[in-house]
Homo-oligomer: A and B are copies of this chain.
Amino acid sequence: MSKENRIHCAALRSKVMSANEAASLIQSGMNVGMSGFTGAGYPKAVPSALAKRIMDANVNGKRFKIGVWTGASTAPDLDGALAMVDGIEMRLPYQSDPTCRKRINAGEMEYIDIHLSHVAQFVWFGFLGKLDVAVVEVAGILEDGRLIPSSSIGNNKTWLDQADKVILEVNSWQSSQLEGMHDIWYGTQLPPNRQPIPLVRSSDRIGEPYLRCDPEKVIAVVETHAPDRNSAFTPPDESSKRIAGHILEFLQYEVKKGRLPRELLPLQSGVGNIANAVMAGLNEGPFENLTAYTEVLQDGMLEMLKSGKLASASATAFSLSNEALAELTADLGRYRERIILRPQEISNHPEVIRRLGVIAMNGMIEADIYGNVNSTHVMGSQIMNGIGGSGDFARNAYLSIFMTPSQAKNGAISCIVPMASHVDHTEHDVQVLVTEQGLADLRGLSPKQRAKAIIENCAHPNFKPALSDYYKRALQFSPGKQTPHLLEEVFSWHLRTLRGERM
Interface residues of A (CB under 8 A from B): 90, 104-107, 110-115, 118, 122, 125-129, 190-192, 194-198, 200-201, 257-259, 261, 265-266, 349-351, 354-357, 372, 377-383, 387, 391, 395-396, 398, 419, 421-429, 431, 443-446, 448-449, 474-475, 478-485, 487-488, 490-491, 494-495, 498
23 contacts between A and B (CB under 8 A): A105-B481, A105-B482, A115-B429, A125-B398, A127-B431, A129-B444, A192-B201, A192-B265, A194-B355, A196-B200, A350-B354, A351-B351, A379-B480, A380-B483, A381-B478, A381-B479, A381-B485, A383-B482, A421-B487, A422-B483, A487-B491, A487-B498, A488-B491
Would A380 and B487 be within 8 Å (CB), given that A115-B428, A448-B110 are in contact?
A: yes
Q: Are B196 and A107 in contact (CB under 8 A)?
A: no
Q: Are A127 and B259 in contact (CB under 8 A)?
A: yes
Would A446 and B478 be within 8 Å (CB), given that A126-B258, A356-B191 are in contact?
A: no
Give chain B residues whose Cβ lies under 8 Å from the Cβ of A104.
481-482
Q: Are B194 and A356 in contact (CB under 8 A)?
A: yes
Q: Are B488 and A428 in contact (CB under 8 A)?
A: no
Give chain B residues whose Cβ lies under 8 Å from the Cβ of A106.
481
Give chain B residues whose Cβ lies under 8 Å from the Cβ of A357.
190-192, 194
Q: Name A113's closest neighbour in chain B (CB-CB).
A: B428
Give chain B residues whose Cβ lies under 8 Å from the Cβ of A449.
110
Q: Are B105 and A480 in contact (CB under 8 A)?
A: yes
Cross-chain contact of A448 among B107, B128, B482 (Cβ < 8 A): B107
Cα distance A125–B400 in the bound complex, in angstroms:
13
Q: Are B112 and A445 in contact (CB under 8 A)?
A: yes
**Extra 19 A-B pairs, beta carbons < 8 Å, given A191-B398, A192-B265:** A107-B484, A112-B444, A115-B395, A115-B428, A128-B444, A192-B266, A194-B354, A196-B198, A196-B351, A349-B354, A350-B350, A350-B351, A350-B396, A380-B419, A381-B482, A381-B485, A382-B480, A383-B483, A425-B426
**What's the minimum C-beta distance from A317 to chain B, rounded to whole angstroms?**
21
Q: Name A498's closest neighbour in chain B (CB-CB).
A: B479
**What's the minimum C-beta distance from A131 to chain B, rounded to whole angstroms?**
12
Give chain B residues whose Cβ lies under 8 Å from the Cβ of A382.
479-480, 482
Cα distance A192–B448 in the bound complex, in angstroms:
33
Cα distance A422–B195 in the bound complex, in angstroms:
36
Cα distance A166–B446 in the bound complex, in angstroms:
26
**What's the minimum C-beta distance from A119 to chain B, rounded to whole angstroms?**
11
Cross-chain contact of A446 among B90, B195, B424 (Cβ < 8 A): B90
Q: Are B487 and A379 in contact (CB under 8 A)?
A: yes
Cα distance A111–B200 in the bound complex, in angstroms:
35
Would A380 and B194 be within 8 Å (CB), given that A107-B448, A444-B112 are in contact?
A: no
Q: Are B491 and A490 in contact (CB under 8 A)?
A: yes
**What's the minimum C-beta distance from A45 to chain B, rounded to whole angstroms?**
29
Top 10 closest A-B pairs, CB basis?
A: A191-B357, A382-B480, A107-B481, A196-B196, A381-B480, A423-B423, A383-B482, A110-B446, A351-B351, A487-B491
Q: Are A111 and B482 in contact (CB under 8 A)?
A: yes
Cα distance A425–B427 in the bound complex, in angstroms:
11
Q: Name A478's closest neighbour in chain B (CB-CB).
A: B381
Give chain B residues whose Cβ lies under 8 Å from the Cβ of A129.
444
Q: Are B482 and A444 in contact (CB under 8 A)?
A: no
Q: Are B498 and A259 in contact (CB under 8 A)?
A: no
Give chain B residues whose Cβ lies under 8 Å from the Cβ of A490.
380, 491
Give chain B residues whose Cβ lies under 8 Å from the Cβ of A379.
479-480, 487
Give chain B residues whose Cβ lies under 8 Å from the Cβ of A421.
485, 487
Give chain B residues whose Cβ lies under 8 Å from the Cβ of A426.
387, 391, 423-426
Cross-chain contact of A428 among B372, B424, B431 (Cβ < 8 A): B424
